[in-house]
Amino acid sequence: MARSTCTELCTQPKTGHCTLCGSLDAGDAFWRRSGLAMLGGWLANLFCYVKSPDGWRAVGVLIGAYVGLYASVEARHER
């Protein structure tokens, strides 16, 4: 879709560099990195961080988030 527009409007033969082509390539790279690939990267980084000497912070944050969410749901249930 966008690549056909780029080939019609491409200035590369004139200038040697097409800003439109570069922008479309950057947009394509963003969408390739997004979604499940991005989630996988976050999980891999989290795993590496937990294995590091400062990993107790990540574990503490996850446990705190769980306890906070549990307390919130329990309070709502009690009402």
CA distance 23 to 5: 12
Q: Report pLDDT for 1.
A: 42
Domain enclosing residue 67, as ranges: 18-78
CA distance 75 to 35: 34
* Amino acid (one-letter) located at 52: S
Is 60 part of a structural domain of the chain? Answer: yes
Q: Report pLDDT for 13.
A: 60
Assess whether pLDDT exceeds 70 at residue 71. Answer: yes
* Amino acid (one-letter) located at 70: Y
Is 3 part of a structural domain of the chain? Answer: no
Is 45 part of a structural domain of the chain? Answer: yes
> Confidence class of residue 68 from pLDDT cuts 50, 70 and 90?
very high
Instruction: Give the number of domains in the chain.
Output: 1
Is 12 part of a structural domain of the chain? Answer: no
Assess whether pLDDT exceeds 90 at residue 66. Answer: yes
Is 13 part of a structural domain of the chain? Answer: no
Q: 26-62, pLDDT tens digit by residue?
A: 777 766 666 777 787 888 888 888 888 888 888 888 8
CA distance 26 to 32: 10
